[in-house]
Amino acid sequence: MSKTSKNLPAILGGTPLVTADHAAANHWPLLGEEDEQAVLRVMRDGNLSFHPVVQELEDDYRALTGRRHALAHNNGTAGLLAAFFALNLNPGDEVLLPDPCYPCNRHFVRLFDALPRMIPVDETQNYQPTGTSVGANWGPATRGVLIASPSNPTGSAISREELGAIVDTARRNHGFVIVDEIYQGLTYESGPSTALELADDIFVVNSFSKYFNMTGWRLGWIVVPETHMRGIEKLAQNMFICPSAPAQYGALAAFRPDTLAVLEDRRLEFKRRRDYLVPALRQLGFRIPVTPQGAFYVYAGCEHFAPDSGDFAVRLLEEAGVAVAPGLDFGANQPERHVRFAYTRSLEDLQEGVDNITRMLRSR
Ligand SMILES: Cc1ncc(COP(=O)(O)O)c(C=O)c1O
């Protein structure tokens, strides 16, 4: 790494940094004095019994979203997806996923000797699978489809119509639809929405990691149809016992009105960053045919600058001090032509990063 790169902004990570002036970056901004005391008290008193507040969390979640059957559990979406696939997949089964996608989701499929079957997506379908592409890829071994909306790495949100068409296709084939809504609430063109508005037989995973900015607390939930509740509950109990008690107490603050106000400020700050970064990158020559509608990522075509995005990412890091993720991290669909930018750093950092890239490209 070059000397300069140490001091320069990284535009990479998927962990949201604090945005407004609510707190320092490595401290959860939403934890007020009272919440902090509650978390500390649990640790000091050794009151780490099974699930002290899960029920309350579930009730809060239901009050906020109107959805029933929420099951809070630890390990973010990661643990719950593992439990879901353990319950639904057998060796040799297939699950349809978009390419590019968040890599761990396809790794979870492999964990159970099943196969991720990748559907290439691009700007012509807003980087999301469609009813037609899901139907065309559904084979005899396919058990279901997993999509993320908004997506990592593209920031694209699936339309209601296409999601409906995917659900219809899955129903016709007696398969499941599971939607990873971890970026729910981080949308910039429309309000928060959930696939559950569409149908009750959809599975949804979510966590406190992104919108609530609590990645390190490792707390997530899954919403399942009533018929599947007991199965997933039993498995999750066997696999994880219960969510960590301090995390549960911390998360109780998440649904309070004052917290939700902070989160709205934060969302607007992400929008400001997106609205700066996307045109700035386009101006430099990156190909961004569709403005990302959510999350905090820009999946940008870099073919104009280099034949291989991996080499280009190394150059950006060494010569401009800017870290991006090469397309290879997200799949096999033209990965050499893409890099992913994350706008998880401050606007000033992003501006500095863009200035550095500009200088680097001019010095070619
Ligand atoms: C689409 C998507 N799903 C899941 C995760 C992991 O989330 P969690 O922290 O809840 O395990 C990430 C993290 O970046 C992600 O981008």
- For residue 331, the model assigns a pLDDT of 97
Atom of ligand 1 nearest to the CA of 102: 1
Residues 155 and 44 both lie in one domain:
yes
**Ligand 1 within 6 A of 102 CB?**
yes
**Ligand 1 within 6 A of 152 CB?**
yes
More confident call, 64 vs 311: 311
| Lowest mean pLDDT segment, chosen from 73-82, 227-236, 297-306 | 73-82
Cα 220 from Cα 71, distance rounded (Å): 8
Q: List the residue whose alpha carbon is closest to atom 16 of ligand 1.
A: 152
Mean local confidence (pLDDT), 289-313: 97
Residues 262 and 250 both lie in one domain:
no
Residues 164 and 226 both lie in one domain:
yes
**Ligand 1 within 6 A of 206 CB?**
no
CATH code assigned at 71: 3.40.640.10
Residues 225 and 248 both lie in one domain:
yes
Residues 168 and 194 both lie in one domain:
yes
pLDDT band at 230; cut points 50, 70, 90:
confident
Average pLDDT of every residue of the chain: 86
Look at residues 202, 233, 255 and tell me which one is the last residue of a structural domain: 255
Residues 97 and 130 both lie in one domain:
yes
Look at residues 200, 220, 255 and tell me which one is the last residue of a structural domain: 255
Region of 334 on the Ramachandran plot (φ > 0 left; ψ -120 to 50 alpha; else beta): left
pLDDT band at 2; cut points 50, 70, 90:
very low
Write out pLDDT tens, residues 7-52. 444 454 444 433 333 333 333 345 667 777 766 766 666 555 555 5
Look at residues 255, 285, 308 and tell me which one is the last residue of a structural domain: 255
Residue 203: count other Cβ atoms within 10 Å of its Cβ.
Answer: 24
What's the gap in Å between 304 CA and the centre of ligand 1?
A: 30
Give the type of residue at 49.
Answer: S
Residues 11 and 54 both lie in one domain:
no
Write out pLDDT tens, residues 128-178. 999 999 999 999 999 999 999 999 999 999 999 999 999 999 999 999 999
Token match 């996923």: residue?
Answer: 97
Dihedral of CA atoms 39, 263, 205, 191 in degrees, nearest 10, equals 160
Residues 226 and 168 both lie in one domain:
yes
CATH code assigned at 13: 3.90.1150.10
- Find out whether 342 and 292 touch, Cβ atoms under 8 Å: no
- For residue 49, the model assigns a pLDDT of 56
Beta strands at 297-301 and 325-326: parallel, antiparallel or unpaired: unpaired
What's the gap in Å between 182 CA and the centre of ligand 1?
A: 6
- For residue 311, the model assigns a pLDDT of 97
**Ligand 1 within 6 A of 78 CB?**
yes
- For residue 7, the model assigns a pLDDT of 40
Structural domain range at position 265: 4-27+258-362
- Find out whether 157 and 150 touch, Cβ atoms under 8 Å: yes
**Ligand 1 within 6 A of 349 CB?**
no
Looking at the structure of the chain, the number of domains it has is 2
What's the gap in Å between 220 CA and the centre of ligand 1?
A: 10
- For residue 139, the model assigns a pLDDT of 98
- For residue 361, the model assigns a pLDDT of 95
Residues 9 and 40 both lie in one domain:
no
Residues 243 and 140 both lie in one domain:
yes
More confident call, 241 vs 129: 129
Atom of ligand 1 nearest to the CA of 14: 14
What's the gap in Å between 315 CA and the centre of ligand 1?
A: 27
Q: In terms of residues, how long is the chain? A: 364
Cα 224 from Cα 229, distance rounded (Å): 6
**Ligand 1 within 6 A of 70 CB?**
no
Residues 110 and 205 both lie in one domain:
yes
pTM of this prediction?
A: 0.88
Mean local confidence (pLDDT), 242-249: 81
CA-closest candidate to residue 313, choices 58, 44, 11: 11
Residues 198 and 266 both lie in one domain:
no
H and E: helices and strands count for the chain: 11, 10
Give the type of residue at 216.
Answer: G
DSSP string, 305-335: T-S-HHHHHHHIIIII----EEGGGG-SSSG
